[in-house]
Structures are given as C-alpha cells and as structure tokens.
Homo-oligomer: A and B are copies of this chain.
Amino acid sequence: MSEPSLLRQLLDRQEIMAVMAAYTRCADMNQPEQQAEVFIEDCRVKYHPTDWIVGRSALLEALRTALARYAKTSHHLGNIEIDFEGPDSATAQSAVIAWHRRNDGSEWTLYGRYVDRWTRTEQGWRLAERELRAAGAVGRDDSQLPPLGRASGALT
C-alpha cells in the first residue's frame, strides 16, 4: 500500500476503536439511544446463544430492557483486532470484561469477546454486526450465554 493508504488505514482503525469505546461508555451511562446509534439501521446483534436481534429499533428496545435491569455496569475492552476487507468494511474482535450490579444489589461479571462486522457510512464507521461470545461468567450460570467455542481442554 502507498503511504497515504497506510495512513488512512491507521485513521480508520482509530475511528473504529473510538466507536467501540463509545458503545461501552453509553452502556455504562445507561444511554441506550446513543448506544444504538453506533449501529447501522439494518444491523444484526447476538447476545443470546441462538437468537439474533435484527434492526436498530429492535436493538434499542433490547438495550433499554437490558440496561434497566442494572443499577450499575462497567465494560472494559482490550485485545482489539481489526482486519480490513476493503476500504469501507472490516471485521473485528475484542475482549470484554463487563461487571454488572443488578437492581437487587447482586453482581455478576462477564469475561467474553465481541466478534464484529464494521461498515463505513456517511456518519463514519458503524457496527453492522456484533456477536457476543462468552468465555465464562462469575455470579451467573454461564451455560445460558453464547459460548466462545474454545477447543476441548483435554490433552490428546
């Protein structure tokens, strides 16, 4: 790639990482409207082992309902990997720790991974697809969460 193209890709990475951070900030501030804005209109999102949420208005309702269960949350991203498929689309993965305090005061913590598809829109990079995969959870039965798909731990 030429130098201007390499610079452009670094700027695109920077913008995608900033939008990833906004997703978590809006969750923790209980701002589901702003959180939904980081997705495209016809997004697909999976927080459940089998069911996909389709479209931003359905997502907004799901985010509102989910955030209302909690008195406090704190999401923390790391290990961000972004691979460009072309100038206007990318796949990405990130690791997430998400601490939750329910309205009854009980707590649980998610250790997981987001698997994403990103697309460039006129408003900037937005999430076209996000799939949560859980390594595990503490304080909650994590067999109800979509699994990471880790290989068996047994030695062969």
Q: Chain A interface (Cβ within 8 Å of chain B)?
A: 3-4, 6-7, 10-11, 13-14, 17-18, 20-22, 24-25, 28-31, 64-65, 67-81, 93, 95, 97, 99, 101, 103, 107, 111-113, 135-136, 138, 148-155
Contact = CB atoms under 8 A, between A and B. Distances in A.
Copies of this chain per assembly: 3
- Output the residue of A4, A14, A103 with the most chain B CB within 10 A: A14
Contacts of A74: 95, 97, 111-112, 135-136
Given A30-B150, A151-B31, A155-B64, A76 B99 contact: no
Q: State the 3 A-B residue pairs at the shortest beta-carbon distance, nearest first.
A: A74-B111, A74-B135, A21-B79
A151 B11 contact: no
B67 A153 contact: yes
